[in-house]
């Protein structure tokens, strides 16, 4: 079953067209890694999937909801799509626990007690149970991003979007975040990850998409894309980063 | 709808009933009780009406009308409305008579009936007490003189200006004239005689060297054709007071000697028991503290409304809707672009006159301050909100949290920390700006100082005290705010 179905997606800022027509699907349980040079439109593409960017043309269907429909209840749809940002975007005025329980409680998904119980379980899962009462400012980058993942998971989403989740981290902290993501993948979460971590894409991704100039240039299994790239631009990009 | 009509009908019926009953009651009483007349007057026009140290209204007008009422056997209720408001209230029938140092003019005679003149005013020149060079109008050649706008003194000075070759500078306040002359900016002042005389009895450092000029006289006024019995009682009472010497006593009480009423010599020691400077400030302290209380009250209330306005227009400014943004921008540009003083004049004088309604000074003041501060608070809130990283809103929205909730629970709590120092700044500015509203008669700290100066002419001591009081209050408030700010940024 298609979790995500994108057809003819275009996005422009004024006269600057960033996405020039994207078609792709994501199956349930797939881990799709989106790679490509900066400015290729991969982050914009990801942000169109939960409407953080408005869609200029084309269709985006997530979980059978048509995001391009003006009357779609976007808040309801977003509850089902978790997102993790490059710069974490934790709420600095709330404790770690409150960061995680805020949305489920505010949106009446759970009672405060239920939400706290779940938050502690999530924190254990990302290895930060002891930081429940800490404030984001006292955490390292890796810890922050793990809390951000727990926060997204607290809404029990069907799909998780990751927008360069390790790009802002010191190298020694990349591993702990990727570890959590790998666990998630193993549990069968549907994930779309914009990343520069080629090793991770190769190891964990079930499919790799290479974007350049607003198009999907090449896609396939990690073996196909990394082992035997067909397109010129893919080859030259991979030569530079590997 | 039907129910509403029924209720309205019932109310009208009720109104008729009460007005009917109401019309019966007074006539039943009138025969055996003294009739009470409502008398309108000015707020400060020393020596005719002004507040004494206890805040009671005293002055020649006040003593005169009370003595006449006692003599003729009627009751009075004084309403201190300000000169223009008192005249308007007389025309609209809200008061029965006006006694407010009102000159009898042909123009006014068309709408009012005046009593016999009870005081001969007319302009008079004053010079600094130690001045020995100015002895006549001739000596003014090439010099500068000070007048107060709209007075007979101003008209008179203008009429002899070319003949004696002097220049004129105009002020708004009698005490400013005195200070101008004492400071040497002008060599002489022209002022309505009783005002000048009263100032001299208060030891304001001015003396007269020329006789009083012929000018208007003051009368008690009723609406044309109305309350003739009141007018008659006033005239009868006045005649009696003049014959039995009570009139002279009243005038002497304020102007030093009885013949002062006709422009005779003025006794500069009449205010006699000269209090020490400290005692004067001490006596005036209750008035100052009351003014300070009003200043704080108006600051708090205005800031409250400014904050609400700021929240509304600030949210509009950061919204994605072009129309809302445009409306908020117009609001800010308008009320930030108009000087506070002009805005106050506009709200208090211009709009009510154009649209034909009345507005109280307190309401006009709160409107003025709220709109002005509201424009600045809007910008503070906009700046605060926009200083928060976009990622915060995106993170909240990506979880399914609606815009409004995200704004209230995620953005504003962080933005407020950024805004606190600017809010404190705005609070201090608004507190100081209340002093500008003294121009429309709001009795806050600055105005309470002006009122005391109008009575005592102690400009330096009073303004020094007022300035120190502002300083103390603002320093205390800033210290409290600092502490609050530290707590907010920690928590």
A95 touches chain B (CB under 8 A): no
Chain A nearest C-alpha distance from B409 (Å): 9
pLDDT at B266: 55
Q: Which residues of B8-38 are buried (b: 16+ CB within 10 A; e: fewer)?
A: eeeeeeeeeeeeeeeeeeeeeeeeeeeeebb
Q: In what order do the strands lie in the sheet with A2-13?
A: A16-27, A2-13, A57-62, A65-66
Q: What is the pTM of this model?
A: 0.71
CA max distance for chain B: 92
Query: B94 falls in which pLDDT band (50, 70, 90)?
Result: confident
Query: B436 falls in which pLDDT band (50, 70, 90)?
Result: very high
pLDDT at A25 over 50: yes
Strands A81-84 and A159-163: parallel
pLDDT at B52: 80
Beta-bridge partners for B190: B125, B147
pLDDT at B9 over 80: no
Query: B2 falls in which pLDDT band (50, 70, 90)?
Result: very low
Mean pLDDT over B362-386 rounds to 95
Taking the C-alpha atoms of residue B300 and residue A8, their distance in angstroms, rounded to an integer, is 58
Interface test with B, best of A53, A95, A106, A148 (most B CBs within 10 A): A106
- Asked whether the beta carbons of A17 and A11 are under 8 A apart, the reply is yes
Closest-CA residue of A relative to B399 is A79
**B395, A90: Cβ pair inside 8 Å?**
yes
pLDDT at B29: 43
Query: B455 falls in which pLDDT band (50, 70, 90)?
Result: confident
Per-residue pLDDT tens digits for A93-136: 999 999 999 999 999 889 999 999 999 999 999 999 999 999 99
Closest-CA residue of A relative to B490 is A93
Per-residue pLDDT tens digits for B110-150: 889 999 999 988 899 999 998 999 999 999 999 999 998 87
B402 touches chain A (CB under 8 A): yes
Q: What share of chain B is helix, strand, coil (3-state, %, to 5)?
A: 65, 10, 25
Of A76, A90, A93, the CB nearest to B400: A76
Chain A nearest C-alpha distance from B487 (Å): 13
Residues of A in contact with B396 (CB under 8 A): 91, 103
The SS3 of residue B204 is: coil
Question: What DSSP assignment string belongs to B305-336?
Answer: HHHHHHHHHHHHHHSS-HHHHHHHHHHHHHHH
Q: Which residues of B366-394 are buried (b: 16+ CB within 10 A; e: fewer)?
A: bbbbbbbbbbbbbbbbbbbbeebeeebbb
**A90, B399: Cβ pair inside 8 Å?**
no
**A152, B399: Cβ pair inside 8 Å?**
yes
A-B contacts at Cβ under 8 angstroms: 61
**B400, A151: Cβ pair inside 8 Å?**
no
Closest-CA residue of A relative to B415 is A93
Taking the C-alpha atoms of residue A69 and residue B264, their distance in angstroms, rounded to an integer, is 93
Query: B358 falls in which pLDDT band (50, 70, 90)?
Result: confident
pLDDT at B15: 47
Mean pLDDT over B178-206 rounds to 88
Burial level of B94, CB count in 10 A (0-12/13-18/19+)? middle
Mean residue pLDDT of chain B comes to: 85
Burial level of B283, CB count in 10 A (0-12/13-18/19+)? middle
- Asked whether the beta carbons of A209 and A189 are under 8 A apart, the reply is no
Taking the C-alpha atoms of residue B447 and residue B438, their distance in angstroms, rounded to an integer, is 5
B410 touches chain A (CB under 8 A): yes
Query: B271 falls in which pLDDT band (50, 70, 90)?
Result: very low
Residues of A in contact with B416 (CB under 8 A): none
B389 touches chain A (CB under 8 A): yes
pLDDT at B302 over 90: yes
Taking the C-alpha atoms of residue A82 and residue A148, their distance in angstroms, rounded to an integer, is 10
- Asked whether the beta carbons of A190 and A62 are under 8 A apart, the reply is no
Taking the C-alpha atoms of residue A126 and residue A96, their distance in angstroms, rounded to an integer, is 12
**A87, B394: Cβ pair inside 8 Å?**
no
Helix (H) or strand (E) holding A52: none
B149 touches chain A (CB under 8 A): no
**A78, B391: Cβ pair inside 8 Å?**
no
Per-residue pLDDT tens digits for B212-228: 888 888 999 999 988 99
Q: How far is CA B118 from the centre of its chain?
A: 26
Of B392, B401, B413, the CB nearest to A89: B392
Taking the C-alpha atoms of residue B52 and residue B253, their distance in angstroms, rounded to an integer, is 13
pLDDT at A212: 95
Residues of B in contact with A90 (CB under 8 A): 395
Of B392, B397, B398, the CB nearest to A91: B392
CA angle A56, A58, A63 (to 5 degrees): 110
Per-residue pLDDT tens digits for B322-355: 999 999 999 999 999 999 999 998 898 888 878 8
Closest-CA residue of B relative to A73 is B400
Of B398, B409, B413, the CB nearest to A83: B398
CA angle B306, B311, B313 (to 5 degrees): 90
Place of tokens 């006269």: A15
**A85, B402: Cβ pair inside 8 Å?**
no
A137 touches chain B (CB under 8 A): no
pLDDT at A50 over 90: yes
Mean residue pLDDT of chain A comes to: 94
A151 touches chain B (CB under 8 A): yes
A79 touches chain B (CB under 8 A): yes
- Asked whether the beta carbons of B442 and B365 are under 8 A apart, the reply is yes
Closest-CA residue of A relative to B413 is A93
The SS3 of residue A153 is: helix
- Asked whether the beta carbons of B441 and B490 are under 8 A apart, the reply is no
Per-residue pLDDT tens digits for B458-491: 888 999 999 999 999 999 999 988 888 888 766 5
Interface test with A, best of B389, B395, B407 (most A CBs within 10 A): B395
Chain B nearest C-alpha distance from A152 (Å): 7
Per-residue pLDDT tens digits for A55-89: 999 999 998 899 988 888 999 999 999 999 999 99
pLDDT at B214: 86
pLDDT at B12 over 70: no
CA dihedral B183, B189, B192, B196 (to 10 degrees): 40
A62 touches chain B (CB under 8 A): no
Chain B nearest C-alpha distance from A157 (Å): 9
What is the percentage of chain A residues whose pLDDT exceeds 70? 100
Lowest mean pLDDT, pick from A5-14, B351-360, B401-410: B351-360
B406 touches chain A (CB under 8 A): no
Chain A nearest C-alpha distance from B391 (Å): 6
Per-residue pLDDT tens digits for A125-136: 999 999 999 999
Chain B nearest C-alpha distance from A36 (Å): 23
Place of tokens 């800010």: B332
**B395, A106: Cβ pair inside 8 Å?**
no
What is the percentage of chain B residues whose pLDDT exceeds 70? 89
Note which residues in 203-232 of chain B have CB less than 8 A from chain A: none
B411 touches chain A (CB under 8 A): no
Closest-CA residue of A relative to B393 is A89
Closest C-alpha to A148, from A200, A110, A94, A100: A100
């Amino acid at each position: 079953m298609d979790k995500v179905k994108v057809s003819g997606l275009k996005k422009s800022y004024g006269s600057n067209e960033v996405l020039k027509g994207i078609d792709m699907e994501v199956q349930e349980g797939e881990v799709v890694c989106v790679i490509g040079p900066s400015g290729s439109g991969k982050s914009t593409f990801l942000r169109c999937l939960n409407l953080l960017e408005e869609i200029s043309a084309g269709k985006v269907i997530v979980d059978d909801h048509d995001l391009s429909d003006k009357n779609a209840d976007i808040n309801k749809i977003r509850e089902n799509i978790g997102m993790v940002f490059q710069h974490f975007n934790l709420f600095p005025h709330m404790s770690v626990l409150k960061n995680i329980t805020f949305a489920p409680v505010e949106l009446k998904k759970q009672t405060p007690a239920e939400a706290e119980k779940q938050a502690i379980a999530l924190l254990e899962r990302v290895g930060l149970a002891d930081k429940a009462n800490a404030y984001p400012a006292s955490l390292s980058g890796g810890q922050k991003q793990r809390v951000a993942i727990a926060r997204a998971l607290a809404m029990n989403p069907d799909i998780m979007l990751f927008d360069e989740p390790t790009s802002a981290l010191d190298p020694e902290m990349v591993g702990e975040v990727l570890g959590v993501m790998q666990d998630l993948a193993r549990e069968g979460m549907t994930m779309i990850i914009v990343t520069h971590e080629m090793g991770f894409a190769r190891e964990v991704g079930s499919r790799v998409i290479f974007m350049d100039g607003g198009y999907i240039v090449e896609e396939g299994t990690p073996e196909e894309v990394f082992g035997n790239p067909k397109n010129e631009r893919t080859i030259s990009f991979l030569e530079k980063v590997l | 709808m039907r129910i509403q009509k029924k209720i309205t009908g019932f109310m009208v019926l009720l109104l008729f009933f009460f007005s009917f009953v109401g019309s019966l009651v007074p006539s039943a009483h009138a025969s055996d009780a003294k009739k009470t007349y409502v008398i309108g007057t000015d707020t400060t026009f020393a020596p005719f009406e002004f507040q004494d140290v206890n805040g009671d209204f005293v002055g020649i007008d006040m003593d005169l009308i009370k003595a006449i009422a006692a003599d003729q056997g009627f009751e009075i209720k004084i309403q201190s409305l300000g000169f223009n408001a008192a005249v308007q209230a007389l025309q609209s029938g809200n008061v029965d008579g006006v006694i407010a140092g009102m000159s009898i003019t042909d123009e006014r005679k068309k709408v009012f009936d005046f009593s016999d003149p009870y005081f001969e005013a007319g302009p008079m020149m004053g010079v600094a007490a130690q001045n020995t060079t100015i002895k006549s109008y001739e000596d003014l050649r090439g010099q500068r003189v000070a007048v107060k706008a709209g007075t007979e003194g101003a008209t008179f000075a203008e009429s002899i200006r070319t003949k004696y070759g002097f220049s004129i500078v105009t002020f708004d306040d009698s005490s400013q004239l005195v200070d101008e002359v004492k400071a040497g900016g002008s060599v002489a002042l022209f002022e309505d005689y009783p005002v000048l005389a009263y100032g001299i009895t208060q030891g304001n450092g001015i003396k007269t060297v020329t006789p009083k000029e012929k000018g208007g006289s003051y009368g008690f006024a009723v609406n044309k054709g109305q309350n003739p019995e009141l007018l008659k009682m006033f005239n009868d009472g006045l005649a009696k007071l003049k014959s039995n010497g009570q009139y002279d006593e009243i005038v002497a009480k304020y102007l030093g000697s009885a013949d002062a009423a006709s422009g005779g010599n003025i006794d500069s020691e009449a205010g006699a028991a000269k209090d020490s400077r400290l005692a004067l400030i001490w006596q005036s302290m209750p008035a100052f503290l009351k003014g300070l209380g009003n200043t704080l009250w108006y600051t708090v209330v205005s800031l409250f409304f400014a904050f609400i306005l700021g929240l509304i227009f600030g949210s509009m400014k950061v919204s994605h809707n072009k129309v809302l943004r445009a409306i908020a921008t117009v609001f800010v540009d308008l009320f930030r672009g108009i000087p506070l003083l002009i805005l106050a004049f506009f709200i208090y004088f211009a709009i009510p006159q154009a649209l034909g309604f009345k507005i109280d000074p307190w309401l006009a003041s709160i409107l003025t301050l709220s709109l002005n501060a509201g424009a600045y608070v809007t910008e503070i809130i906009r700046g605060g909100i926009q200083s928060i990283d976009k990622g915060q809103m995106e993170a909240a929205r990506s979880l399914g949290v609606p815009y409004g909730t995200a704004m209230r629970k995620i953005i504003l709590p962080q933005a407020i920390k950024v805004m606190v120092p600017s809010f404190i700044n705005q609070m201090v500015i608004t507190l100081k700006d209340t002093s500008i509203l003294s121009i429309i008669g709001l009795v806050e700290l600055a105005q309470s100082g002006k009122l005391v100066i109008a009575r005592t002419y102690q400009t330096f001591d009073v303004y020094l005290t007022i300035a120190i009081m502002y300083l103390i209050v603002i320093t205390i408030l800033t210290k409290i705010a600092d502490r609050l700010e530290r707590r907010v940024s920690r928590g």
